[in-house]
Amino acid sequence: MAEGIRDKVAVIGMGCTKFGERWDASPEDLVTEAFEEALADARVDRADIEAGWFGVFYDEQNVGKSAYPLSQYLRLPNIPMTRVENLCATGTEALRGAVYAVAAGACDIAVAVGCEKLKDTGFAGLPERTKGTFEDLYQPNFTPPGAFAQLAAAYTAKHRLDMGDLKRAMAHVSWKSHENGAVNPKAHLRRKISIDQALNAPMVAYPLGVLDCCGVSDGAACAIVARPEIARQMGCDRFVAVKALQLAPSNGIEMGHRSWDGAHTLTTRKAVARAYAEAGISNPLADISLTEVHDCFSITELVLMEDLGLSREGGAVADILDGRYDAAGDIPCQIDGGLKCFGHPIGASGLRMTYEIYQQLLGRAGERQLQSPKFGLAHNLGGIPNRNIAAVSIFGLSG
């Protein structure tokens, strides 16, 4: 059995832009904004960075292919750089590259940057994209809300729930994230909403209304990671350490086998089981202090609470309505506003989640600071429930 990644890598600096409709900012501006914040935070010299990973999803919408744009923006001395893409798990994928390189001893300090410029499409929602020459011939012309809405229909059928009851829990999810986003200056959507507004919002894809959907944003985020020895040499006794980094892509079961019930994300369950094992967590309810999950839609967050083992099967509706995942609850979810309100510039999202957990663990989260968090869990879901990439990372303080 492999040792895993626990405590082998320190996060020594992080940066994150304000997310939103950054009409006047170029990808270069966003990357620079995130990187300079991380560099100042890490207190290392630019020249000490030895390798970089660049997460970009929609290359046709953004900066084109390859890691060349990152190298150009940062003007680093021709260090190795790699562009990565794994749908909405792209940001976490960039982090994984940097963390693995440091853990392997290939370099001492590495940087991961994620950037997305989604607001250049000219319409609301995500850009249209091809699914490949074969799949375009038969895959439905789904949109993300339509694909994720399927979870809700299947969830009501599985648990014999009335759609109205499920919608109330989904509305609570959105309401809670707007409450959290309202006090986060970097969040895209900062207006509070009422439960009634969420329930009565215009329908996008049954049963998801527009307030069940996350923000589509421009933004960038950055992490600088290093060997723990380097963090200690810099005088940090307590630093944020990577406890687990796990990835689980679909292998076709959800799309093509009847065993999947359509009401959960199979890959999340696989990834989180490995992540808890890697981090040495046997009782997540006791050890996980906060989560940043892939709340692209309210229903996604709801089923994820079960997939992550935080709510029992069929129990998420009650737990959500009881406030367990609210800011004042036992395990706050999306304390920074989440994809819902912080926003979702795809390539940056996994790093944005890491950024919030990093701030919380270091006690720097200001108005939204939680009391003595132990472990923070970040979860990405790239793709759609039928076929996706689940990424789970867990962070905690060293020592």
CB-based contacts of 122: which residues, under 8 Å, 6+ apart?
none
Considering beta carbons, is residue 256 or 399 the nearer one to another protein? 256
- Kindly tell me which residue out of 38, 103, 111, 154 binds another protein, with binding defined by CB under 8 A: 154
- Among positions 169-208, residues that touch another protein (CB under 8 A) are 203-206, 208
CB-based contacts of 115: which residues, under 8 Å, 6+ apart?
27, 30, 31, 34, 54, 55, 56, 62, 63, 219, 220, 345, 347, 348
- Among positions 226-255, residues that touch another protein (CB under 8 A) are 251-253, 255
Contact pattern for another protein over residues 40 through 79, marking x by CB under 8 A? ----------------------------------------
Find the shortest distance in angstroms from Cβ 216 to another protein. Answer: 12
Alpha carbon separation from 217 to 331, 361, 362 (Å, rounded): 26, 26, 27
Q: Is 222 a catalytic residue?
A: no
Catalytic residue among 172, 188, 294, 344: 344
Distance CA 324, CA 371 (A): 15
Using CB under 8 A as the binding rule, whether residue 256 contacts another protein is answered as yes
Considering beta carbons, is residue 260 or 398 the nearer one to another protein? 260
Q: Smallest Cα–Cα separation from 271: which of 97, 392, 92?
A: 392
- Kindly tell me which residue out of 78, 123, 237, 367 binds another protein, with binding defined by CB under 8 A: 123
- Among positions 322-381, residues that touch another protein (CB under 8 A) are none
- DSSP, residue by residue, 240-276: EEEEEEEEEE--SHHHH-TT--SSS-HHHHHHHHHHH
Considering beta carbons, is residue 23 or 134 the nearer one to another protein? 134
Considering beta carbons, is residue 264 or 340 the nearer one to another protein? 264
Using CB under 8 A as the binding rule, whether residue 397 contacts another protein is answered as no
Catalytic residue among 16, 88, 214, 341: 88
The SS3 of residue 86 is strand
Residues that bind another protein (rule: CB under 8 A) add up to a total of 43
Q: Where are the alpha helices (DSSP H) in 308-399?
A: 316-321, 338-341, 346-361
Q: Is 236 a catalytic residue?
A: no
Using CB under 8 A as the binding rule, whether residue 134 contacts another protein is answered as yes
- What single DSSP character describes residue 169? H
H or E element that contains 146: helix 144-159
Per the CB < 8 A criterion, the answer to whether 132 and 117 are in contact is no
- What single DSSP character describes residue 333? B
Considering beta carbons, is residue 135 or 322 the nearer one to another protein? 135
- Kindly tell me which residue out of 40, 106, 157, 318 binds another protein, with binding defined by CB under 8 A: 157
Alpha carbon separation from 366 to 240, 339, 356 (Å, rounded): 18, 20, 11
The SS3 of residue 9 is coil
Give catalytic residue positions: 88, 344
Q: Which residues bind another protein (CB under 8 A)?
A: 121-123, 125, 128, 130, 133-134, 136-143, 145-147, 149-151, 153-154, 156-157, 203-206, 208, 251-253, 255-262, 386
